[in-house]
Structure formats: structure tokens, C-alpha cells
Structure 1
Amino acid sequence: MLHVDAPLADGRMFFRTDLVNMDAGSFSTNSDGSYSPNWGTCGEIACTSGSKNQTDGGASVAVGWKNETWSADIGTTPMGFNVVDVVGGLSYSNDLGPIGYTLNMHRRPVSSSLLAFGGQKDSSSHTGITWGGVRADGGGVSMSYDKGEANGVWSSLGVDRLTGKNVADNWRVRWMTGYYYKVINEDNRRVTVGPEQYALAL
């Protein structure tokens, strides 16, 4: 990763690039020459040719700017992957006394797998179809309550629409909340402990 930032107006601008390499493993071969496991479209049409290795790589770029109130960025998913998209986000943060809040809207990649992050393409001798490249378009709100004393609470809620190439659309709702206790609460040091709860619905 390369990250460069510099002051601009009352905030800081940045440029970032990441080199990404992903390896989802390789198919083994059955006695009849078909690939194993019998996964994806190989369940419809036996896979007997094409690359058995599920790997890909690329480079992403992004630029952005932020200050204490606003944050914005725009960039790309890794160029070199089968599916490349423009992604980014915008957020606004403020407070009402001891209650802090942040509102955001975004388009982000789902990076939990090679298929979701960069997409994968069937061999031209098979279906030749490109799948995946899932993106999350949505927004969210997060809030916290902290009077500067020993205790605090926080919560966040996000809703996203999930879309990709040749895959079914879906929705994702994520909710998180937690409590923290400041074991150390000094100007130059802070240590907190506490439980948190996470819920996910698709």
C-alpha cells in the first residue's frame, strides 16, 4: 500500500493505492478428467478444461479529503480484476452536546471472497460468463454518548443493496451497539474495555 496525504483548506487530502492479490485455491481432477469439487456452473456442465487455479490480482487507486466534519473519497476496485467499478463514500459528523453522530452514504466492494471482490470468469470452453463483483450501495448512521467521564455507549445502523454481475440482488442490514469503560483516560493515553452486540440480516 502507498498512502500520501497533505493539508488542504481546513482538512487533509490523500492519495492511496493498493496492490491486491487473492488466491481462492485450485480444483482437483477426478478420474474422468472433470474438476472437483463440483462447484458453481460445474454442477450444470462438467468442467474439464480451462484454468484450475482461482487467483487474480490488481491495483486500486483512491483520492479523498476529510476534516472534523466531512469526509469524502472516490476510487476504483483493483484494476486487473474481472469486474472493476468506481467506488467511494461521503460522510458528515457532528454532535449535540455529549451525543455524537455520523451520517454516511457509500458504494463499497464486498471483499469477503475473490468471487465477490473481483468477480470470476468461466473458461471460454465452458460458459464464458463473468460472475460476481458484488458492490454494496447504501448508507448508515452511527451515534455515541460520552460526557468525557469513565463510561460511554455507541450504536450504528447500516442498510445496503447488494448487486453484482450475473448474481441475484440482495439487501443487507447491519446493527451494532456497545458499551465501554475507560480503564485509562488521560490526554495522551486511553484504554477501554466493554461488550458489544452485532446483528446481520440479509
Structure 2
Amino acid sequence: AGEAASPRPTTTVSPSPGNPFAAPAARDPVVGDIDRQIAEITARTAAEVSGSAQIRARSGEAGLGRLHELSARAAASASLGEVRFTASISPVSIDGGTPSGSAEQRYGANQIINARAIVGAFAPVYAAAPPQSASGAAIDLAMAAGPLSADIGTTPIGFGDIDVAGGVAFSPRLGANGQGKLWIERRPVTDSVVAYAGARDPVTGQRWGRVMRTGGGVSLSYDDGASGLYGDASYGHYDGEHVADNDSYQVNLGGYIRPYRRGETEVQVGFNLNQQGFDNNQNFFSLGHGGYFSPKSFTSLTAPISVTGRQGPWKFKGAIAPGYQTYNQAGAAYFPMDVALQTELNTLALADSDVFPRYLAESASGFGISGGLSADYQFRPGASIGGAVNFNTFGVYNETAVSVGVKQTLGGEGGR
């Protein structure tokens, strides 16, 4: 739901070969500082190749809100003076299942067939929708130079018409402890197959969906090592193919303290208040809707807790954010982009009260939780492998993502 702030053991055994948790031999601290500085410079300037794969699962009805995604990313980066360039290609395959039962009625323009059958007192025969799936590959070229970063690329080639995706961000330091950020971007909405790749209506033959978000925002943060505060505000405009336009806002406010810090291990505890809203509700899958969560108002208050650390060649992070949410979804016409279909549906609703020409407004409140675990293992200087598991139950859908990745720095021993 927009760009929110990511919430992203010392042993005493004797050193022995093959034991990554063994305590290292004592080193001169000056030599250690020099090695660390060399490693940081190498990591910033050396060429690098990386690869990753991810499985993402989003709950929902088959053929509508459900989404299973398998994606990968291969990237290569190198520095030219003070500018670092990264080129990447990201294959992706998504599947949402096939609409059936009541979901089939609410897909595309099938509601008009249902309404005609109710008024005519005969059994509806819906136009069968094909399995909701798509495959493609996105390409991207990014650059970073100090506080300035930018990228430009495409939506997955193979999803239909290609859109340009990318963004620009400026993240200056503000004094010794402050950080600012300004950004603008245009990105695909990945909530469902309809939103991400688009679909073809089996009744009219019209393609719809493939939603893009264009927007930007500003953020400010302060961190003195022991505690911190942050806030951000953003705006987004949503447009797609044969989909009603939409506008949204989002505000995040939060703070945290670090009650425990020892060596490279720390515990962080904080709070986060998120408020967002959309002009209209596009969380449906009939013709003209975008298929993405877009509440009239959404408020959540969470208590993020995280633990990060390093032990020998291992780096790890664990985070959990329990909280409470409340949201309201506005009602909406079944066919917001098709006047003839919506007019006929309204007329049929006047003839029989069992015909519904609009989706009803809904509201819900309750507890939610998000979190994740990640680990990174450096198996030789400049080379590492890592993985992560993340989950989120806020909103109307539950989402889980599992990823693995490898990274190799070329021509040096970066990241030692």
C-alpha cells in the first residue's frame, strides 16, 4: 500500500575450521579499521554481479485477488568515476487461478449475464474466463551518485503493451544525524493479475487492467544512534487500460529506540502510524476496475521490533510488527467505464430487486501483523549468499514472500 518505511549471538567457543560462529583471534584495532575502510571502498567501486529469485503468494479468490508469483533478477554493476551503474533483467511469471462459482459472476462483464438471467427467470450461462496468468521479463538501468539515484526500465515484456517504469530520488544528509529524501516514480501495481498484467473480458472482448502508479513524496528522518524519528508523505495517481483513474495519499509517522546495543548486535523497538486513502474503490474484478486494494480510508498503528546483528561471516535481521488497523471501502458501480453496460444493469435492477448494480461499501477493523527474517552468509571475501522470508496480514489480503540471492564482487575482496 504505497511506499511505507520498511520495519527491512556472540559465542565464546574456541576458533576451529568449519565453525563460522567461532570467535576470531584478537586483532589490532587500527588494522581492523583499515581493513574495514578498504572493504567499504572496494564494495563501492568494484564491479559486482548478483542474482536472486523470489516466490510471492497473495491470498484471495481464484481468478480474482489470488496471486502466485515466481520472479528472478540478474544484475551487473560497475562504477565510472563517482557514478555507479547497474543493469538488470527480471523475468516474472504470475498465476491467479481460474474464476469459478460466484467469482465467475463477478469477473469481467459476467454480472450483466447474471442480471439478465435473474430478470428473465432462467439459469445464467457465464462466458468462461481463461486461467489468469502471464509471463514476461522487465529490464532496468539504474545509476547512483552520492545522494542522487535514478532508474529507467520497462514493465515485463510479454504482459501486453509495454510501459516505461522508473524513478528519481534525492537523499541528502541533513546535519550530522538527519536524512531527507525527495522522490518521483512511475511503477506497475502488482496486487493481482488484472492490475499487473491486465486481462481480456470474455463477454465483450475488451482488455482492461495493467495499472500504473505515478507519484512522489518527501521524507525526513533523524537518528542519533540511540533513538530516531521519521515521517513521510506521498501522493499517487493510478491509471490503466480501460480502468477508472484514481488518486491516493499516504502519511507515515514513527519513532524508535535501541534499548540494547553490543558490538554489531542491536535491538530496535518503535511505533508507526500509517494513514492512507483513495478517491475511489478499485478493489474489484469486473470490467473497468483495477483489481487493487484502494480503501477510502485506512489507518494502522503498529509496534515494530527488530533485531540485527553480525556473527563471523553471518549477518541477520529479524523483525515483527504487530498492530491494529481499521479501514473503509467505498461502494462502486459494476462498470465504471462502460455507460451502456451500467445503464442496462441499473434498468434490470429496477425490474428485480435481486439484481445489484453496485458493489456495497464495507468497513473492517482488527489486529494485523507483519514481519520477516533474513540472513546473509559470506562464504569467501566478496562473495555472499542470502535469503529472506517476509509476511504481511494488514489490509484485506495476506501476503508471504520467500527469496534467495547470491552476490559476487569482482576484482577485490569487498565486503570483508
Bin of the TM-score, shorter chain as denominator length = 0.7 to 0.9
Aligned pair partner of 2:172 in 87, 94, 98: 94
Aligned pair partner of 1:182 in 249, 258, 261: 258
Q: Which TM-score applies when normalising by structure 2? A: 0.44
Single out whichever of 175-184 and 156-165 deviates more from structure 2: 175-184
How far apart, CA to CA, are the structure 1 residues paired with 2:253 and 2:110? 42
Root-mean-square deviation (Å): 2.1
How far apart, CA to CA, are the structure 2 residues paired with 1:196 and 1:188? 25
Tell me, yes or no, if structure 1 residue 152 matches structure 2 residue 224. no
How far apart, CA to CA, are the structure 2 residues paired with 1:2 and 1:191? 33
Q: Which has the higher contact order (CA 8 A, sep 6+)?
A: 2
Partner SS for 1:169 = strand
How far apart, CA to CA, are the structure 1 residues paired with 2:110 and 2:270? 47
Tell me, yes or no, if structure 1 residue 72 matches structure 2 residue 150. yes
How far apart, CA to CA, are the structure 1 residues paired with 2:250 and 2:81? 34
Count of residue correspondences: 194
More strand as a share of residues = 1
Aligned pair partner of 1:40 in 108, 129, 149: 108
From the superposition, tell whether residues 79 and 179 of structure 1 become closer, same or farther in structure 2 (CA, over 3 Å): same
Tell me, yes or no, if structure 1 residue 171 matches structure 2 residue 239. no
The runs of 5 or more residues in structure 1 that have no matched partner are none
Tell me, yes or no, if structure 1 residue 15 matches structure 2 residue 87. yes
Letter matched to residue 199 of structure 2: Q
Aligned counterpart, 2:15: none
Shift of the alpha carbon at 1:132?
0.8
Instruction: Report matched runs for 1:72-151 at 5 Å.
Output: 72-97=150-175, 98-123=177-202, 126-146=203-223, 148-151=224-227
Instruction: Report matched runs for 1:50-61 at 5 Å.
Output: 51-61=129-139
Question: Do 1:84 and 1:133's aligned partners in 2 also have CA atoms closer than 8 Å?
Answer: no
How far apart, CA to CA, are the structure 2 residues paired with 1:129 and 1:6? 44
Aligned counterpart, 2:308: none
More helix as a share of residues = 2
How far apart, CA to CA, are the structure 1 residues paired with 2:130 and 2:186? 32
| Bigger radius of gyration among the two | 2
From the superposition, tell whether residues 16 and 179 of structure 1 become closer, same or farther in structure 2 (CA, over 3 Å): same
From the superposition, tell whether residues 95 and 57 of structure 1 become closer, same or farther in structure 2 (CA, over 3 Å): same
Question: Do 2:105 and 2:111's aligned partners in 1 also have CA atoms closer than 8 Å?
Answer: no
Cα displacement string for residues 5-64 of structure 1 (whole angstroms, at most 9, x for unaligned residues):
11122131101111111111112379xxxx834423111246435x53111111101001
How far apart, CA to CA, are the structure 2 residues paired with 1:187 and 1:116? 45
Aligned counterpart, 2:269: 193
Letter matched to residue 119 of structure 1: G
How far apart, CA to CA, are the structure 2 residues paired with 1:189 and 1:8? 34
Question: Do 1:84 and 1:118's aligned partners in 2 also have CA atoms closer than 8 Å?
Answer: no
How far apart, CA to CA, are the structure 2 residues paired with 1:20 and 1:47? 31
Give identity over the alignment, percent.
32
Shift of the alpha carbon at 1:140?
0.4
How far apart, CA to CA, are the structure 1 residues paired with 2:108 and 2:238? 20
Letter matched to residue 180 of structure 2: Y
The runs of 5 or more residues in structure 2 that have no matched partner are 1-72, 114-124, 279-416
How far apart, CA to CA, are the structure 2 residues paired with 1:79 and 1:158? 28
From the superposition, tell whether residues 201 and 65 of structure 1 become closer, same or farther in structure 2 (CA, over 3 Å): same
